[in-house]
A and B are shown apart, each in its own frame.
Chain A
């Protein structure tokens, strides 16, 4: 039954082999090694589908775990090389292999002619492997290894065009920022494992044991709070949460397929994945949950605001990623385990789609800036409609994947709000507000890109098949993936049932009692029912199928419409001037004269939002946070110089040399005792004798 599961380790292994194979033979192959990567990824993908099928249909009572004792670590503790396959793993497999496969295929054309083409594919495969390793790991240490490798690959790929200093800096920034987060992760892992060692476990890094121990209440609160907060620091850095998101926009320096991979599947999702993996531990502490939720909320809102003022398409997408990751984090923070990873799942597809689409556009106009585009809908029809699908999904337009998953997040917040949890309210309301922002900036981007005149200096034309095909596949998935957990999904076969183990189920909505009735009701969820599957499931657990929340649907639609309309007002006719702000000024006057509502909206919504909040956010991002980062860097460097020049070379080494110098100095003085006058020698001798005589008398 579990045949494929036994071979789950092949999923990460194949890309690893392909890395080595590409590095070794890639150059001599007709496809310069890309075919190896594609084949390996395809195989992995197929295997992932199989594994997902088996996992989802089998309804495993326990996650599937296999491990080898890889090495002793001293003191009887061992490091396991092991795999843990459950719904979460299978879901991530699907996401990562799919996106990666698409990126591989897409890159064949996109990267054509690059001098480091082979190297690029090798690194892509390695990147995929690293993420898959993190996903399959059955223990924190192995996960850490995957995690760090992800960081390395991102460094190598972001700095792919290393001839330019700014690209080098971007790579370094990404690596160092995430590495800084890793301080927390590493120490957090160590803290948790210390707790496990205290419980007498010989495999202190094991995830299953850790989660079980946490649920059983064996781990002390201190350990959990300290450990999880530290680990969350790692997630903050890796998943681009405020304030450690600064590396993410810079990471656009890498080739666009890499951005797709980073933003959709292999890097920024790592933090969310790890939080989900450790959800039973997270859920033990309200403090940890609260911190996670607040950070998520801040990120999802202010991250989104930042996207408003970008001209660089990739940066718009990057900030949107920040914002969307904020949703996922916030969902975890309010116990929305399923909501979070479902959003992760769907977001992966549509964000990959958007990036690849952006890549297609950039490829065509040789510029990242939306102000250089315009009117692309006609010249690039496939890109156009796939991009629109992605945009709709991102904006949460009903019936797209983004709609279902984002609503899950909001509902989760609402459910908790009903329990009187402040963060629940925050997630819900700020989430809604951010949805407006998201829609607005995506609409702005779409209008500027596809509407109006072509402002580029090139004659754009549609990309080749190898680039368009992945777009189409992803476009389909951007819609279809949402139906895994929607009112249309079946009770038994839905995303939640597949990914949430019984333990997690209980932790997700602990306030739902055995009778299936929510003890309290959220603002909007009051009418919704949570279906108990205790009687039909074999394991006596809770399963739910989302119901239509028509009230929420209505709000979402209103928001969507308002945002798009607003955007259309300003950008619907393209961008006649290079400076959008100036153009906005003209548009504002027109709007003010015709619709008082517009003026209101502009003056009290757009202006404050765009000019004040966004500017503040930009400022805070660029000046305060970047300033802190840069300042920290400069301070470190100053500290380094001081340490080396003053402390090391002067004080410590100076002390050593000073001892030598003073010896020489004394020597020079002392040697003059040897005056050469024998009578002085005699006098000294006799004087010495007298001193001795007196001294010994004194001794007595």
Chain B
């Protein structure tokens, strides 16, 4: 069966950090896949998880929920979680939800790896 998700998620290990790259629409069909991938990254217990949103044009509250959950787990495990390369359109929804201060949001993966 088709799962109807228009999203791609992959990850890469860079030193002690895991970079999770997302592309597509992070909506109700795509969020579960992002959640799985972040979980896998977290299970490997990296010091830092960078979530690269440069290829995300659309996110709804299911995406926010996924990232809030990831942040809670990261805080529990003492992992640093950083969001990077967010489009303005996507940042808008973080602001509406008052989550722009809750997350560490930086402009590039480089910055995220060194933040």
Question: A and B bound?
Answer: no
